[in-house]
Structure formats: structure tokens, C-alpha cells
């Protein structure tokens, strides 16, 4: 599978809790049996994929990360190439080489991921994706798996596809270092007593958002997906609705995606006026349009701390103005 047209044509109706994944494969030598080759099935959201290309000539870069093969010049844009097998610390079988590059863009960063094979595009439901919570360490790449799905059709029926946390790769490359510095540079504000509910399946994102909100004086409640977010929102509302300031939601999440999560919020008469900001690594006018259809206040691409806090505070100011207007 390759090319751009097929990917660009995949647009799902907002709030359906479905997504398309590019199914790609990484082969490795079985640790317990060196003569056995294992095929790993992985997926990346089509919304993050620009195109899939044959392996071009790669230019090595001095002092690059150990899992970066170098860079390629793709129509005038220089793109770092990440060797996923090396990042996962798997032993590649002799005679099997990576032949394709999945070119992605998220968090306004364009990267190419070197894979052994891209197979097909799969349409799946977020509710069928099981979140995974494994211990994290410098040598445990399984900790960067954010979800799994058991395949139901075709020759791979019964096998498990893993969804990687690509944001953790970006962080490991040091590409978020500027954003982390920006957060540390933010002035510490007085505590407001207000709570912001943050819903995101990425530990990297939850950590960065929490730090920024803490700097701005907010208390933070955390959930990993839309289903957890709804349960926590119910608890927060029952305990102290006047202190619930806003909701920050990712788009891509297992069990229940951000669009479905927001739709359920806006359908609830108690919650529909809570400001919702979508904070996603996926950019583009289509994602903004989808969010606007559901009634979100802002759509902010991860992660610009100052822009994020400005959007949050502006949304809350508009909410106060609407409340005062209704009183008047």
C-alpha cells in the first residue's frame, strides 16, 4: 500500500467513534528461538499520515539519535527518518530489510518512520481498542503502546495489533525540549482553586499539560480516555460543579475518542456549557471543523504552552461573559 490519494480520501463522520489505521509490520527474531521470525502488527492513525513511500536515499546525520537513520529530502522538505525496529530494540531477521517509509505529521512535526511493510488500511472502532498500562523504563518499549485491538477479519483474524505512542518517540528524540523549556519559563500564578479535567491517553501529553496548568494556578484531574473522562466528570460535577473550569480533550484515545467524548458532554444539559478545548497532535482545518460542529471552544495543536493557556483563559472568559449576559 502506498501513495497519497487513498489516505486523503478517508474522512469519517464526526462523533462516530471510528478511525482508520495504517496497518504496518515489523519483523523480529524470537528472543527464545533464534531460528524463528516473528511478525509484529502495528497501527498508526490515518489522520497523522501524509503518504507512504518507497525507501529513498537517506543522508546520514552526525551525532543523531541511535534510532534515527538520517534525513531525506522529500520535495524540498527535509524529514528525519526513524528506524522503528531499532527504536523498539528488536533484532531484525537476516535478509529482511525495511522497504517503506510512513511519512507523518503531528504536533506540527514531520517525521518518516521506516517499516518493513505497510499492508492495508483498517477501519476500527475506538471502543474495541483496549488501553494498555505497562511499566515504563528506559529499556521497555512496550510502555509506549497506548492500545491494542484484536483483529476480527482476514488472514490475521485473532491476532493483536498494537498502537504505538508516537508522541513518546518525539519526546525521546528531544523534539519537545523547546516546549518543556517554555513551560518551565512560565510565571507561576496564584492558585485559582479551579479544576481542569484533562483527558489524554498519552502519558507524555498528560505530563506536559499538567505542568502548564499548574503553572497557571489550576488544579488538574486526569483521565486516559473518553469513557474514563465521563466517569470522572460525573464525580467532579457531583462534588463541586462551581469549581469545574474547563475540559481539555485529546482526539485519539482508546475505548472512546475525543469527538465522541465531546458529543456526550454537549448532549448533557448539566455539562453542555463547560468550555471544551481539543488539544491534539493532529493539525488541519478538517479537525477544527469537526470540533466546531460539536461545539468546542478551541482546537489547539500540541504543544505550544503559551498558546494553549491563552486559548483556555479566553474560553473561560467567554463563558463568564455568557453567564453574565444571561443574568442581565
φ/ψ of residue 56, rounded to 5: -90, 180
The predicted-structure confidence for 40-65, as pLDDT tens digits, reads as follows: 999 998 888 999 999 899 999 998 88
Cα–Cα dist 185/254, whole Å? 33
Q: What is the pLDDT of residue 16?
A: 65
Global confidence as pTM: 0.77
β-partners of residue 38 are 28
Q: What is the pLDDT of residue 305?
A: 78
Which residues of the chain have a pLDDT value below 70?
Answer: 1-16, 133-143, 283-284, 327-328
Q: What is the pLDDT of residue 10?
A: 44
Cα–Cα dist 85/113, whole Å? 10
Cα–Cα dist 213/226, whole Å? 20
The closest alpha carbon to 261, from 235, 297, 291, 221, belongs to 291
Name the DSSP class of 59.
Answer: B
Which top CATH class is 5-172? mainly beta
Contact 187, 213 (CB under 8 A): no
DSSP string, 12-57: PPTTS-EEEEEEEEEEEEETTEEEEEEEEEEEEEGGGEEEEEE---
CATH 3.40.50.2300 in the chain is located at 177-327
CATH 2.40.50.180 in the chain is located at 5-172
DSSP string, 227-270: HHHHHHHHHHHHH-GGGEEEEEE-S--SSS-HHHHHHHHHHSTT
Is 177-327 a CATH 3.40.630.30 domain? no
Q: What is the pLDDT of residue 266?
A: 95
Name the DSSP class of 95.
Answer: T
Amino acid at each position: 500500500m502506498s501513495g497519497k490519494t487513498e489516505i486523503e480520501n478517508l474522512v469519517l463522520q464526526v462523533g462516530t467513534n471510528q478511525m482508520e489505521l495504517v496497518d504496518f509490520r515489523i519483523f523480529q527474531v524470537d528472543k527464545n528461538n533464534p531460528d524463528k521470525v516473528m511478525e509484529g502488527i502495528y497501527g498508526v492513525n490515518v489522520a497523522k499520515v501524509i503518504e507512504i513511500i518507497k525507501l529513498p536515499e537517506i543522508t546520514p546525520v552526525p551525532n543523531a539519535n541511535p534510532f534515527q537513520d538520517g534525513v531525506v529530502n522529500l520535495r524540498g522538505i527535509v524529514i528525519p527518518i526513524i528506524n522503528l525496529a531499532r527504536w523498539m530494540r528488536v533484532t531484525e531477521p537476516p535478509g529482511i530489510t525495511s522497504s517503506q517509509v510512513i511519512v507523518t505529521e503531528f504536533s506540527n512535526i514531520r517525521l518518516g518512520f521506516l517499516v518493513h511493510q505497510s499492508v492495508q488500511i483498517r477501519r476500527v472502532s475506538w471502543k474495541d481498542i483496549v488501553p494498555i498500562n505497562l511499566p515504563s523504563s528506559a529499556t521497555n518499549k512496550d510502555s509506549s503502546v497506548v492500545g491494542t485491538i484484536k483483529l476480527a477479519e482476514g488472514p490475521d483474524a485473532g491476532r493483536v495489533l498494537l498502537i504505538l505512542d508516537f508522541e513518546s518517540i518525539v519526546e525521546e528524540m528531544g523534539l519537545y525540549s523547546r516546549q518543556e523549556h517554555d513551560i518551565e519559563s512560565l510565571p507561576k500564578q496564584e492558585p485559582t482553586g479551579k479544576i481542569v479535567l484533562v483527558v489524554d491517553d498519552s502519558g507524555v501529553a498528560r505530563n506536559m499539560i499538567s505542568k502548564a496548568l499548574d503553572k497557571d494556578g489550576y488544579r488538574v484531574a486526569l483521565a486516559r480516555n473518553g469513557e474514563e473522562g465521563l466517569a470522572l466528570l460525573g464525580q467532579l460535577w457531583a462534588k463541586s460543579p462551581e469549581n469545574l473550569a474547563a475540559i481539555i480533550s485529546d482526539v485519539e484515545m482508546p475505548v472512546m475518542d475525543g469527538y465522541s467524548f465531546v458529543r456526550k458532554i454537549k448532549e448533557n444539559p448539566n455539562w453542555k456549557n463547560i468550555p471544551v478545548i481539543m488539544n491534539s497532535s493532529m493539525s488541519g482545518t478538517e479537525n477544527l471543523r469537526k470540533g466546531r460542529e460539536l461545539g468546542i471552544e478551541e482546537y489547539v495543536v500540541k504543544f505550544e504552552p503559551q498558546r494553549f493557556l491563552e486559548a483556555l483563559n479566553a474560553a473561560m472568559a467567554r463563558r463568564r461573559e455568557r453567564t453574565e449576559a444571561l443574568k442581565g
